[in-house]
């Protein structure tokens, strides 16, 4: 009885003791922090997203209400001291202090010897976190859009898993995404603003099924899922830190301060000593961040979620000749009374309807056309046929982890018009038509920033042969249903610093010769020596790329160009063969130019690694 | 800071959304990347309807503090995935459909298959018109399910 009474008295009085911070203790905490040099610990630096400049000074890209000290973004120590003041001060509203900076607080609890009465509860935040119930984090890599070379860049975000969501309920987990908030801008302005950091980047959270819809349906991209090696405490710490970032943003740069850079920094908050971000110096390519995490043993298991586009391709490939005819009728004429469809068996009809429905869904997303009525009548018809089909097994594409390293060296020897040369080339990214295309968009090229130097023994000097700023070739195959445009663009300097601009638009078809091949025809323009007199060439190009086996590829290219100002024509033929094994590629390229009755030839043998 | 506090208040007023009007996702047009945008969208990671992270946002009637409310989970899921769901209901199987089955208490694979066939059989009643809304879909689905004794036994707690 007496004990109970005493207990009640203590309980009753406890809050009055604990909700007064003492200035002396707060000063002592600051002293302790200074003595143990906490401001320079990797954990504090990662919590502030600090990066070190060349001469040792720090800066953080985070803007908004994140930093407490006015110098916080540049001075980790000032921010740490301001934090201690803020967390343990009576002047601060209690929700604004320790509950505002959960991760900072939970770290300081470990680093400082805090008096128990200085630690406040945050019931609202605890309830919120309990509702989310997160114990695991997954890294999600959105692979490139099959039909867009530019998206070779990829995208990464995190998925927070609640163990309550077993089985199929995992779709109810939450995805945390870092993205530029762009508004409704489109096209070139979007690109330019994105490159120069005019958009704010911020985190957002949505149910994973919503992210799936966005990526696999709207953007036609496969999603690759990897479980991250983080224990529940580390995951909780990341979540605490995300809550701290509420209301903050960082300028979003497409190239370096992008989604993947921020996601890496987020993982680094839980694993500050892994040195993840230290691996990146200029451009942060999402797939490279996945590979770095894999190299550091941070990833476990791999699962792919195929895009709607892949589903449609698989469904169509499985149809027989009659069914394909029926699908064509259904889609073009929106009719189920045509002879081709009516002649099918019930199962064949069901499969044709399912294929048509996935095609309509795809075009609905892509072209933003309302196909509700068509889809509805097909769905009714399909439902009537009953349970007679099996789920389609979409063949798993090659893991993005097997893809080539983005940057590479090319060492080569060759001859140009009987003059020997050695060549040294470096590319920042990404791949060209002859590269191994595992895990990337097939039959495409995305080359940015490459430098090609040549040494000619006869002249005994190194010379700049070519700089490529950007060289993209995007080819889309024509099918019975779609007639998309293929295009190419190439900007750089050659020879030396003489600027050139080449481009083309055209069309292509896939031929199964012998395994996979794509043939394209382009209308092209080539313009070199742009700094001198402009002398545009117009012409046509035929480009055939074959994949003979998993390791062997070839390229056959023929161009005919005509200059109206000079009134002369020229032809150019290129042949390339490439063999790759264990991420090393051997390549032989030959070129023949017919320049007004004089044939010039060159060849080059290179090793790429 | 004010926003955070407002959001915390929102958490407690979650019941304000407890009507059956759906989650209002339909009003959020999802933007497609135009061809031109694709050309430039090197990292394609811009979403138009970005919900600022965490507890400040309760954008649609189904979320509070950025988390979908328990009693609205089915509604929200159906609104987001309606197109996929109606396609999968017509064929009688599919990931989203089986997820919905599990949300409706069908935990076993066999019961999810049974749910798939049920949805296929009842297609024209669950989706009576091409313009059936997500709210109607959920209502019709519940009505149809309540008349299915066997399925009810297979899928507990539905």
pLDDT in tens, A296-309: 899 999 999 998 98
Band of pLDDT at residue B21, cut at 50, 70 and 90: low
Q: Do B103 and A132 touch (CB under 8 A)?
A: no
Q: Do A153 and B56 touch (CB under 8 A)?
A: no
pLDDT in tens, A232-283: 999 999 999 998 888 788 887 777 777 888 889 899 999 998 887 777 777 7
Nearest Cβ partner for A182 among B11, B46, B53 = B46
Of the candidates B66, B131, B130, B142, which has an alpha carbon nearest to the alpha carbon of residue B103? B142
Nearest Cβ partner for A204 among B3, B51, B107 = B51
User: Is pLDDT of A424 > 80?
Assistant: yes
Decide if A350 touches B, using CB distance below 8 A: yes
A465: three-class secondary structure by DSSP: strand
Contacts of A365 in chain B (CB under 8 A): 32
CA distance B138 to chain A (A): 17
Decide if A303 touches B, using CB distance below 8 A: no
Per residue, the 3-state secondary structure of A103-138, as one string, reads HHHHHHHHHCCCCHHHCCCCHHHHHHHHHHCCCEEE
Of the candidates B51, B33, B30, B39, which has an alpha carbon nearest to the alpha carbon of residue A192? B39
CA nearest B1 in A: which residue? A96
Band of pLDDT at residue A229, cut at 50, 70 and 90: very high
Decide if A189 touches B, using CB distance below 8 A: no
User: Is pLDDT of A96 > 80?
Assistant: no
Of the candidates A592, A589, A570, A568, which has an alpha carbon nearest to the alpha carbon of residue A578? A589
Cis before residue B25, ω within 30 degrees of 0?
Answer: no
pLDDT in tens, A533-590: 778 899 999 999 999 988 899 999 999 999 888 888 889 999 999 998 888 899 999 9
pLDDT in tens, A343-379: 999 999 999 999 999 999 988 877 777 888 999 999 9
Q: Do A375 and B96 touch (CB under 8 A)?
A: no
Please tell me whether the interface predicted TM-score (ipTM) of this complex is above 0.85.
no
User: Is pLDDT of A289 > 80?
Assistant: yes
Handedness of CA A234, A240, A244, A245 (dihedral sign): positive
pTM for this predicted structure: 0.83
Between helix B73-91 and helix B134-146 the angle, nearest 10°, is 70
Contacts of A218 in chain B (CB under 8 A): 30, 32-33
Band of pLDDT at residue B22, cut at 50, 70 and 90: low
CA distance B117 to chain A (A): 6
Of the candidates A100, A75, A76, which has an alpha carbon nearest to the alpha carbon of residue A89? A100
A346/A386 Cα distance (integer angstroms): 9
A343/A338 Cα distance (integer angstroms): 9
Q: Which of A123, A209, A240, A308 to mutate to test the interface with B (most CBs of B within 10 A)?
A: A209
User: Is pLDDT of A37 > 90?
Assistant: yes
Nearest Cβ partner for B36 among A187, A246, A376 = A187
User: Is pLDDT of A482 > 90?
Assistant: no
Which residues, at least 6 apart from A217, have a Cβ–Cβ distance to it below 8 Å? A307, A308, A361, A365, B84
Q: How far apart are the first and last CA of chain A?
A: 80
User: Is pLDDT of A147 > 80?
Assistant: no
How many other CB atoms sit within 10 Å of the CB of residue A385? Answer: 19
Q: What own/partner pairs with CB < 8 Å and gap ≥ 24 does A163-167 have? A: A163/A133, A163/A135, A163/A136, A164/A133, A167/B102, A167/B107
Instruction: Please tell me the predicted confidence (pLDDT) of residue A16.
Output: 44
Instruction: Please tell me the predicted confidence (pLDDT) of residue A185.
Output: 58
Percent of chain A exceeding pLDDT 70 equals 92
Nearest Cβ partner for B51 among A206, A214, A379 = A206
Nearest Cβ partner for B130 among A95, A100, A373 = A373
Instruction: Please tell me the predicted confidence (pLDDT) of residue B35.
Output: 41
Q: Do A155 and B121 touch (CB under 8 A)?
A: no
CA triplet A121, A127, A133: central angle to 5 degrees?
A: 125
CA nearest A243 in B: which residue? B54
User: Is pLDDT of B19 > 80?
Assistant: no
Contacts of A180 in chain B (CB under 8 A): 45-46
Which range has the worst mean pLDDT, A244-248, A443-447, B1-5? B1-5
Band of pLDDT at residue B158, cut at 50, 70 and 90: very low
A181/A198 Cα distance (integer angstroms): 10
Percent of chain A exceeding pLDDT 90 equals 45
Decide if A268 touches B, using CB distance below 8 A: no
What's the mean pLDDT in A482-491? 88
Interface size, chain A vs chain B, as Cβ–Cβ contacts under 8 Å: 220
Nearest Cβ partner for B53 among A142, A246, A258 = A246
CA distance A234 to chain B (A): 18
- Burial class of residue A527, CB neighbours in 10 A (0-12, 13-18, 19+): middle
**Alpha helices in B21-148, H assignment, sequence order:** 35-40, 73-91, 95-103, 109-121, 123-126, 134-146
Which range has the worst mean pLDDT, A52-61, A197-206, A556-565, B73-82? A197-206
Q: Which of B10, B42, B113, B144 to mutate to test the interface with A (most CBs of A within 10 A)?
A: B42
Contacts of B116 in chain A (CB under 8 A): 387
Q: Which residues pair with A423 in a beta bridge?
A: A412, A454
Decide if A286 touches B, using CB distance below 8 A: yes
For A183, A445, A490, A594, B41, the CA distances from A470, given in Å and listed in that order, are 27, 10, 6, 27, 14
pLDDT in tens, A374-415: 999 999 999 999 999 999 999 888 888 888 888 889 999 999
User: Is pLDDT of B13 > 70?
Assistant: no
Between helix B73-91 and helix A372-384 the angle, nearest 10°, is 60
CA nearest A203 in B: which residue? B53
CA distance A301 to chain B (A): 20
Q: Which residues pair with A54 in a beta bridge?
A: none
Instruction: Please tell me the predicted confidence (pLDDT) of residue A188.
Output: 60
Nearest Cβ partner for A219 among B3, B33, B81 = B33
CA B102 to mean position of chain CA atoms: 13
Q: Do B46 and A190 touch (CB under 8 A)?
A: yes
Band of pLDDT at residue B140, cut at 50, 70 and 90: very high
Instruction: Please tell me the predicted confidence (pLDDT) of residue A106.
Output: 94
Higher pLDDT, A340 or A224: A224
Which range has the worst mean pLDDT, A110-114, A514-518, B67-71? B67-71
Handedness of CA B68, B71, B77, B82 (dihedral sign): negative
A101/A90 Cα distance (integer angstroms): 16
Q: Do A179 and B48 touch (CB under 8 A)?
A: no
A582/A569 Cα distance (integer angstroms): 43
Q: Do A179 and B50 touch (CB under 8 A)?
A: yes
Q: Which residues pair with A569 in a beta bridge?
A: A562
Between helix B109-121 and helix B134-146 the angle, nearest 10°, is 110
For A51, A137, A376, A486, B51, the CA distances from A179, given in Å and listed in that order, are 20, 18, 35, 29, 10
**Contacts with B, A 107-136, CB within 8 Å:** 124, 127-128, 131-132
As a whole number, the mean pLDDT across chain B is: 70
Instruction: Please tell me the predicted confidence (pLDDT) of residue A165.
Output: 93
Instruction: Please tell me the predicted confidence (pLDDT) of residue A111.
Output: 93
Task: Answer yes or no: are the C-beta atoms of A309 and A148 closer than 8 Å.
Answer: no
As a whole number, the mean pLDDT across chain A is: 86
Task: Answer yes or no: are the C-beta atoms of A519 and A526 closer than 8 Å.
Answer: no
Q: Do A150 and B86 touch (CB under 8 A)?
A: no
pLDDT in tens, A155-181: 889 999 999 999 999 999 999 888 777
Contacts of A254 in chain B (CB under 8 A): 42-43
């Amino acid at each position: 009885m007496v004990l109970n009474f005493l207990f009640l008295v203590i309980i009753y009085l406890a809050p009055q003791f604990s909700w007064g911070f003492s200035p002396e203790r707060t000063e002592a905490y600051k002293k302790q922090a200074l003595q143990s040099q906490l401001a320079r610990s990797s954990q504090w630096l990662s919590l502030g997203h600090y990066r070190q400049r060349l001469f040792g000074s720090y800066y953080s890209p985070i803007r908004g209400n994140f930093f407490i000290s006015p110098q916080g973004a540049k001075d980790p120590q000032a921010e740490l001291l301001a934090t201690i003041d803020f967390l343990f001060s009576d002047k601060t509203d209690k929700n604004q202090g320790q509950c505002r900076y959960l991760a900072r607080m939970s770290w300081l609890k470990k680093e400082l010897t805090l008096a128990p009465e200085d630690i406040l509860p945050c019931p609202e935040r605890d309830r919120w976190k309990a509702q989310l119930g997160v114990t695991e984090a997954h890294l999600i890599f959105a692979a490139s859009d099959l039909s867009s070379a530019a998206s070779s860049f990829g995208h990464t975000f995190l998925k927070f898993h609640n163990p309550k969501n077993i089985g199929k309920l995992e779709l109810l987990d939450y995805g945390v995404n870092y993205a530029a908030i762009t508004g409704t801008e489109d096209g070139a302005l979007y690109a330019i603003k994105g490159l120069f950091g005019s958009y704010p980047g911020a985190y957002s959270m949505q149910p994973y099924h919503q992210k799936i819809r966005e990526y696999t349906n709207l953007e036609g991209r496969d999603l690759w899922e990897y479980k991250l090696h983080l224990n529940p405490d580390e995951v909780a710490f990341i979540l605490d830190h995300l809550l701290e970032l509420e209301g903050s943003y960082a300028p979003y740069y497409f190239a370096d301060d992008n989604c993947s850079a921020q996601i890496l920094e987020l993982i680094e908050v839980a694993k500050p000593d892994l040195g993840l971000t230290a691996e990146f110096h200029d451009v942060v390519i999402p797939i490279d961040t996945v590979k770095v995490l894999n190299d550091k043993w941070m990833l476990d298991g791999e699962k792919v979620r195929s895009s709607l586009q892949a589903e449609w391709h698989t469904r169509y490939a499985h149809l027989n000749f009659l069914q394909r005819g029926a699908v064509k009728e259904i889609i073009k004429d929106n009719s189920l009374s045509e002879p081709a469809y009516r002649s099918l068996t019930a199962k064949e009809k069901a499969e044709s309807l399912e294929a048509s429905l996935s095609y309509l869904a795809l075009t609905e997303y892509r072209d933003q056309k309302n196909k509700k009525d068509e889809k509805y009548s097909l769905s009714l018809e399909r439902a009537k046929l009953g349970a007679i089909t099996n789920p389609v097994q979409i063949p798993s594409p090659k893991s993005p982890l097997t893809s080539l390293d983005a940057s590479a060296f090319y060492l080569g020897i060759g001859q140009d018009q009987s003059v020997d040369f050695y060549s040294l080339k470096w590319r920042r990214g990404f791949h060209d038509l002859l590269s191994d295309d595992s895990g990337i968009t097939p039959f495409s090229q995305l080359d940015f920033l490459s430098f090609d130097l040549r040494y000619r023994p006869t002249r005994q000097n190194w010379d700049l042969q070519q700089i490529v700023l950007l060289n993209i070739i995007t080819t889309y195959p024509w099918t019975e249903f779609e007639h998309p445009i293929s295009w190419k663009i190439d900007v750089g300097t050659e020879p030396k610093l003489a600027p050139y601009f080449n481009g083309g638009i055209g069309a292509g078809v896939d031929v199964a010769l012998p395994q996979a091949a794509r043939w394209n025809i382009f209308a092209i323009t080539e313009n070199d020596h742009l700094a001198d007199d402009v002398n545009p060439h117009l012409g046509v190009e035929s480009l055939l790329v074959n994949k003979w086996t998993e390791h062997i590829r070839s390229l056959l290219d023929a161009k005919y160009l005509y200059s109206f100002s000079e009134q002369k024509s020229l032809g150019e033929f290129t042949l390339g063969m490439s063999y790759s094994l264990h991420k090393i590629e051997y390549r032989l390229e030959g070129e023949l130019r017919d320049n007004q009755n004089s044939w010039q030839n060159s060849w080059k043998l290179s090793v790429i690694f | 800071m004010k926003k955070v506090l407002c959001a915390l208040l929102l958490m407690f007023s979650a019941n304000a959304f407890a009507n059956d009007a759906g989650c209002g996702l339909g009003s959020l047009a999802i933007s497609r990347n135009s061809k031109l945008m694709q050309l430039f969208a090197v990292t394609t990671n811009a979403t138009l309807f970005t919900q600022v992270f965490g507890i400040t946002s309760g954008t649609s009637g189904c979320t509070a503090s950025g988390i979908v409310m328990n009693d609205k989970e089915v509604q929200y899921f159906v609104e987001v995935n309606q197109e996929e769901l109606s396609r999968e209901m017509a064929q009688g199987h599919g990931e989203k459909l089986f997820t919905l089955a599990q949300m409706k208490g069908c935990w076993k694979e066999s019961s999810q298959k049974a749910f798939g066939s049920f949805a296929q059989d009842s297609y024209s009643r669950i989706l009576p018109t091409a313009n059936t809304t997500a709210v109607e879909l959920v209502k019709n689905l519940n009505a149809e399910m309540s008349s299915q004794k066997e399925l009810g036994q297979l899928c507990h707690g539905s």
